Amino acid sequence: MTPPPAAGLLPAALPAAETTVLRQPAGDEAFWRDYQRVLDRFHAGEMTPGDWSRWRAERLRAVLRHVTERSPFYRRHLAGIDVGAVTPRTLSALPFTTKDDLRREMYDVLSGSPADASIFYETTGTTGPSTPCPRGVRDILTSNSAVEESWRRLFRSRFGDRLPVVGLMGPSELYAFGDVFTAVTASLGACHVKIWPESPRVGFRKALRLIEELGVEVIVCAPALCLSLAKAALHYGYDLSRLPVAMFLVLGEICTPQFAANVASIWPRATVHPTLYGSQEALCIATGADTGRLHLSELNYIAELVDPDTGAPLGDRGEGELVLTMLVDGVKPLIRYRTADLVRIEDAPADSPLPGPVVEVVGRVADRIRLGEATLQPAELESAVLDGVRGCLGYQVVIDRDEDGRDRVTVRMDLLPRIAGDAAAVGAGVAARLRERTGVSAGIAVDAELDPVTNTGAFVSWKAARILDNRTEADHAAVVARQVAHRYAITT
pLDDT at residue 252, as a whole number = 86
Average pLDDT, the chain: 90
Backbone φ and ψ of 434, nearest 5°: -70, -40
Compute how many other C-beta atoms are within 10 angstroms of the C-beta atom of residue 246.
Answer: 17
pLDDT at residue 37, as a whole number = 94
pLDDT at residue 2, as a whole number = 41
CA-to-CA distance for 226 and 318, rounded, in angstroms?
30
Provide the 3-class DSSP secondary structure of residue 250: strand
pLDDT at residue 405, as a whole number = 85
Residue 333, CA distances (Å) to 102, 306, 330, 394 in order: 12, 20, 6, 38
Domains and CATH numbers, the chain: 1-14+23-364 (3.40.50.12780), 369-488 (3.30.300.30)
**How many CA atoms within 13 Å lie on the side-chain side of 214?**
20
CA-to-CA distance for 446 and 205, rounded, in angstroms?
26
H or E segment to which residue 305 belongs = strand 301-306
Compute how many other C-beta atoms are within 10 angstroms of the C-beta atom of residue 349.
Answer: 10
As a whole number of angstroms, the longest Cα–Cα distance in the chain is 71
pLDDT at residue 378, as a whole number = 86
Sequence-distant (6+) residues with CB within 8 A of 400 are 407, 408, 409, 410, 470, 471
Nearest to 21 by CA among 48, 39, 7, 3: 39
Phi-psi region of 168 (alpha: psi -120 to 50; beta: other; left: phi over 0): beta
Provide the 3-class DSSP secondary structure of residue 35: helix
Q: H helices of 160-188, where?
A: 177-188
Taking only the tens place, the pLDDT of each residue in 354-367 is 999 999 999 888 88
Backbone φ and ψ of 314, nearest 5°: -120, 10
* Tens digit of pLDDT at every position of the chain (492 positions): 444 343 333 345 555 455 676 665 656 788 999 999 999 999 999 999 999 999 999 999 999 999 999 999 999 999 999 999 999 999 999 999 999 999 999 999 999 999 999 999 999 877 678 999 999 999 999 999 999 999 999 999 999 999 999 999 998 888 999 999 999 999 999 999 999 998 889 999 999 999 999 999 999 999 999 999 999 999 999 999 999 999 999 998 889 999 999 999 999 999 999 999 999 999 999 999 999 999 999 999 999 999 999 999 999 999 999 999 999 999 999 999 999 999 999 999 999 999 999 999 998 888 888 888 888 888 899 999 999 999 999 998 999 988 888 889 999 999 999 999 999 999 999 999 999 988 888 888 888 778 777 776 666 677 888 888 888 887 766 676 676 665 656 544
Taking only the tens place, the pLDDT of each residue in 393-417 is 999 899 998 888 888 999 999 999 9
Contact 176, 121 (CB under 8 A): yes
Q: Mark 197-224 as b/e (b = at least 16 C-beta within 10 Å).
A: bbbeebebeebbebbbebbbbbbbbbbb
pLDDT at residue 6, as a whole number = 39
CA-to-CA distance for 251 and 274, rounded, in angstroms?
6
CA-to-CA distance for 131 and 359, rounded, in angstroms?
26
pLDDT at residue 11, as a whole number = 42
